[in-house]
Amino acid sequence: MMRPEVQGTLQARSAPPDALGRVLSDLRISVIDRCNFRCPYCMPEEAYPADHAFQRARERLGFEEIERIARAFVSLGVRKLRLTGGEPLLRRDLPDLVARLAAIEGVEDLALTSNGALLPKFARPLREAGLRRVTLSMDSVDPDIFRRMSGGRGELADAEAAIAAAERAGFGPLKINCVVMRGVNDDGILDLVARFRGSGHVVRFIEYMDVGTVNRWRDDRVVPGAELVQRIDARWPLEAMPRDRMSTSRRWRFRDGAGELGFINSVTEPFCGGCTRARLSADGKLYTCLFAHAGHDLRALLRAGESDAALRATVAGIWSHRGDRYSERRAELRAAGVLEHVEMYRIGG
């Protein structure tokens, strides 16, 4: 629980809202750009073969640098930190970073997004270090389609083992992300729902997005969240849950009490108006939108010996000028040829 005097100080120093009145509250921290999967909607194999030159260790922020940046964001009002990648569990000694971040006064939520393949080895040490929540991914319960959607690198059995390991370590309920691509895995969504109904875990269906520059996005491959709701409702009646404007997910629950589902409809029902997320890449660039073209180099600031106060002022300044709302303007921007976006794996989705 945050000490009152710290609460007061933190509130006093929150960052000004951005140009659209959105108040900074979440920081997603990518700790590595490498991944052990090659999901076609993020890091397709043909664009990232095994010998692709990813960032070298010295290019990545060290744990002390990540902690300094996180402290600056927390002092500016951030309450939620999420560790991402690439695949964050590929970053050595990750529990040490978790322990550093968990110790920051003001952090109310510390989560991790992972494909889970390495989780059985790390679930308990991460939990003991202070990690609060884990979000995993499962794009299909059909082993062949699962393998295909991981670029031939992942096995459904490993994803199931990750869920079991997370449960044993005391994480739960888990969020299970599923990116839906028409003609690839959408025929299997009822089977995926059946797998998790009554489990307490929440499946979140994510619309296939034009992230980055290499996933060959086509809008006819997008299955609107509303269509998925209809398909599922026909099998298991659903009811909408109250809308949380700050959440990316539209929540629905089963009328028979078997739990809930989430739908992240960035393409058909954009949520930029409530977007309060900043993203930090593993090499220390601050991105103000998932579809940003370029980031702001905080690593250079740190390595030039700038103070924490200078870091905080820089971040507050960047945020106050933020006007991003790509998803709301997607059609117009794509028509205008605005197709250059940072690769999603570099900023963790």
Q: Tell me if 338 contacts ligand SF4 by CB under 6 A.
A: no
Which residue, 10 or 275, has its beta carbon nearer to ligand SF4? 275
Angle at 52 between CA 47 and CA 56, to 5 degrees: 135
Q: Tell me if 319 contacts ligand SF4 by CB under 6 A.
A: no
φ, ψ of residue 260 in degrees (nearest 5)? -135, 170
Asked if residue 164 lies in contact with residue 54, where contact means CB atoms within 8 angstroms, the answer is no
Q: Tell me if 347 contacts ligand SF4 by CB under 6 A.
A: no
First-last CA distance in the chain: 29
HSE-up of residue 263 (Cα within 13 Å, Cβ side): 26
Binding mask 208-247 for ligand SF4 (x = CB under 6 A): ----------------------------------------
Q: At what angle do helices 119-129 and 156-168 cross, to 10 degrees?
A: 30
At closest approach, how far in Å is the CB of 243 from ligand SF4? 15
> Site size for ligand SF4, by CB under 6 A?
11
Task: Write out the binding residues for ligand SF4, residues 244-303 only, by CB under 6 A.
Answer: 266, 271-272, 275, 289-291
At closest approach, how far in Å is the CB of 158 from ligand SF4? 29
Question: Which two three-digit tokens encode residue 99?
Answer: 């322990």
At closest approach, how far in Å is the CB of 62 from ligand SF4? 27
Of the ranges 40-48, 191-199, 318-326, 335-343, which one interacts with ligand SF4 (CB under 6 A)? 318-326
Return all residues near 244 (Cβ < 8 A) that are at least 6 apart. Answer: 251
At closest approach, how far in Å is the CB of 309 from ligand SF4? 28
**Separation CA 222–CA 231 (nearest Å):** 15
Q: Tell me if 165 contacts ligand SF4 by CB under 6 A.
A: no
Return all residues near 266 (Cβ < 8 A) that are at least 6 apart. Answer: 206, 207, 209, 248, 327
Q: Tell me if 25 contacts ligand SF4 by CB under 6 A.
A: no
**Separation CA 253–CA 262 (nearest Å):** 9
Q: Tell me if 186 contacts ligand SF4 by CB under 6 A.
A: no
Which residue, 116 or 348, has its beta carbon nearer to ligand SF4? 348
At closest approach, how far in Å is the CB of 287 from ligand SF4? 9
Residue with tokens 């003609």: 183
At closest approach, how far in Å is the CB of 104 from ligand SF4? 24
Query: Interface with ligand SF4 by CB under 6 A: which residues?
Result: 266, 271-272, 275, 289-291, 324-327
